């Protein structure tokens, strides 16, 4: 199990790397996180929703993601509540007090999912959440030390040195943990280090002497790894691309932005910026409204900070606009939420850039899909008939659409189907869709950006598709060379060095 001294110390990335390393060394390995709080999510082939990080970790392990890898998913909403997803399906909405009153009842579900993975795989790499030393939550938590005890899993404790105070955070964590929990921690990892590692030697020796546990390694600060993250904190650390002559894409950073890894491939071809206000917007070649878990509240915020007016003004002046999922819903005339599924606000005026309305349903759509492009003008010029794949996660349904559909969806994980999705205006300069993962379709994105370049009279910079296997291999190489993998394997196998990995780890 990998736990951290705080949120965003790099647990997800380290689990991803370990899943890849174990796979490279010949093990059948799977990731697991009992409870995840994240807006970045993914739909499995079972039609279940899980945290995006667990989907990435499964991909690194070379296996199909399953909702058993993240049996409990909490999706924060604008009104201090969270949508509670259990085994991939919505199980209600709860505030923190209500949730912690009953969350121990979910242990039965968590244990069953963990046992299923243990039956099917040789190694399960478990990820914790936040810090195990939150003393106000120790008797209620179902994701850190309680899970380590249930699994009998040795724990690696990770600290983020880039934030400062890493040794205080490790010592503080150890001191706050009860003895039985502290004994589960078998080693320390220092993450996100920049500089000469020899300067850390006295502090590393202090930790090892004080707690009689090894510091398993110091992992460097890894930039531009291009792996989907689960926390929007990642956007604060992300380096903006700024290559002269490239097209400029402004992605609106909504307060409850979700699935922002949708746009990672665009950075291979364009300068991509995440903007929060009108001062940052500038005059981009393309404006993108991303997904959100709180469509109406986030739309209200766009109106308050002036971005809504700026987007409308630039669109009318000819700047293309694309909306994905919640962003697509914002582009219409009006949004209705009669059942209060996302917030207490029952309706809102949309941006009016597409002639349609959205009504939120009680039931969430979660499915992987295959589709073809059905429009062929403007941004989608000459693209009619191109195939794409992706996934849907939404509760809003279009009605009164007086625009051309963008896509025809012909297949899902349940088999053949037939329905239209999305809308594009008559100019072909504004379109929206519920399909996540759209830009990960290389041919679609390449053609779309060529059309954008023609519309904006900006040269199109040919890029190359993201090769995920190469990215995971690079991450695994960095982590493998930074950690004492022989000791890691000894910890994993209870003091016996890994059977299949003696050559690699040694």
Q: Which residues participate in catalysis according to the annotation? A: 325, 436
Please tell me the distance from the alpha carbon of residue 231 to that of residue 235, in angstroms, as a whole number: 8
Please tell me the distance from the alpha carbon of residue 281 to that of residue 287, in angstroms, as a whole number: 9
Q: DSSP H helical segments within 219-306, as ranges?
A: 233-237, 278-281, 295-304
What is the number of residues in the chain?
506
- Residue 306 tokens, joined: 């002036």
What is the SS3 assignment for 323?
strand
Contact 417, 444 (CB under 8 A): no
Lookup result for tokens 């007090």: 97
Contact 52, 38 (CB under 8 A): yes
Contact 54, 33 (CB under 8 A): yes
Going by the DSSP 8-state scheme, the letter that residue 441 receives in this structure is S
E strand spans, 374-459: 387-399, 407-412, 415-421, 423-424, 430-433
Q: Which of 314, 318, 322 is nearest to 354 (CA)?
A: 322
Q: Which of 478, 469, 480, 475 is nearest to 25 (CA)?
A: 480
Please tell me the distance from the alpha carbon of residue 16 to that of residue 330, in angstroms, as a whole number: 34
| Residues in a beta bridge with 175 | none
Q: DSSP H helical segments within 36-177, as ranges?
A: 52-61, 96-102, 107-120, 145-151, 166-176
The three-state DSSP-derived secondary structure of 104-117 is HHHHHHHHHHHHHH
């Amino acid at each position: 199990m990998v736990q951290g001294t705080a949120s965003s110390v790099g647990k997800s990335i380290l689990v991803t790397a370990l899943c890849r390393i174990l796979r490279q060394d010949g093990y059948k390995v799977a990731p697991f996180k009992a409870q995840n709080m994240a807006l970045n999510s993914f739909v499995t082939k079972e039609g279940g929703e899980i945290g995006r990080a667990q989907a990435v970790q499964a991909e690194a392990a070379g296996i199909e993601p399953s909702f058993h890898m993240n049996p409990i998913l909490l999706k924060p909403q604008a009104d201090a509540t969270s949508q509670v997803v259990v085994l991939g399906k919505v199980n209600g909405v709860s505030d923190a007090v209500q949730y912690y009153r009953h969350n121990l009842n979910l242990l039965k579900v968590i244990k069953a999912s963990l046992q299923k993975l243990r039956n099917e795989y040789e190694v399960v790499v478990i990820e914790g959440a936040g810090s195990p030393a939150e003393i106000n939550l120790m008797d209620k938590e179902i994701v850190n030390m309680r899970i380590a005890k249930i699994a009998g899993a040795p724990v690696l404790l990770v600290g983020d040195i880039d934030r400062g105070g890493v040794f205080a955070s490790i010592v503080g964590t150890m001191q706050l943990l009860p003895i039985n929990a502290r004994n589960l921690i078998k080693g320390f990892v220092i993450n996100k280090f920049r500089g000469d590692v020899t300067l850390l030697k006295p502090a590393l020796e202090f930790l090892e002497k004080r707690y009689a546990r090894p510091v398993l390694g110091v992992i460097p600060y890894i930039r531009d790894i291009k792996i989907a993250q689960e926390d929007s904190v990642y956007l604060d650390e992300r380096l903006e691309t700024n290559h002269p002559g490239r097209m400029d894409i402004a992605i609106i950073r909504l307060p409850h932005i979700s699935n922002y890894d949708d746009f990672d491939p665009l950075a291979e071809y364009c300068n991509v910026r995440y903007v929060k206000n009108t001062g940052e917007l500038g005059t981009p070649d393309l404006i993108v409204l991303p997904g959100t878990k709180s469509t109406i509240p986030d739309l209200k915020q766009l109106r308050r900070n002036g971005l809504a007016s700026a987007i409308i003004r630039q669109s009318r002046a000819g700047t293309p606009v694309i909306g994905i999922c919640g962003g697509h819903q914002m582009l219409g005339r009006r949004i209705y939420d009669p059942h209060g599924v996302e917030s207490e606000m029952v309706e809102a005026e949309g941006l009016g850039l597409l002639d349609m309305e959205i009504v939120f349903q009680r039931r969430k759509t979660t499915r992987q899909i295959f589709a073809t492009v059905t429009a062929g003008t403007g941004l989608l010029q000459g693209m009619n008939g191109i195939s794409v794949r992706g996934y849907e996660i939404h509760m809003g349904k279009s009605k009164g659409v007086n625009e051309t559909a963008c896509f025809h969806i012909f297949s899902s994980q349940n088999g053949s189907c037939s329905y239209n999705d999305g809308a594009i205006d008559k100019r072909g300069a504004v379109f929206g869709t519920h399909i996540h993962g759209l830009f990960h379709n290389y041919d679609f994105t390449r053609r779309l950006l060529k059309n954008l370049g023609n519309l904006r009279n900006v040269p199109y910079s040919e890029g190359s598709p993201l090769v995920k296997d190469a990215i995971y291999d690079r991450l695994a190489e960095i982590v493998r060379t930074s950690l004492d993998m022989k000791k890691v394997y000894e910890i994993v196998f209870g003091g016996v060095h890994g059977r299949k990995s003696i050559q690699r780890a040694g």
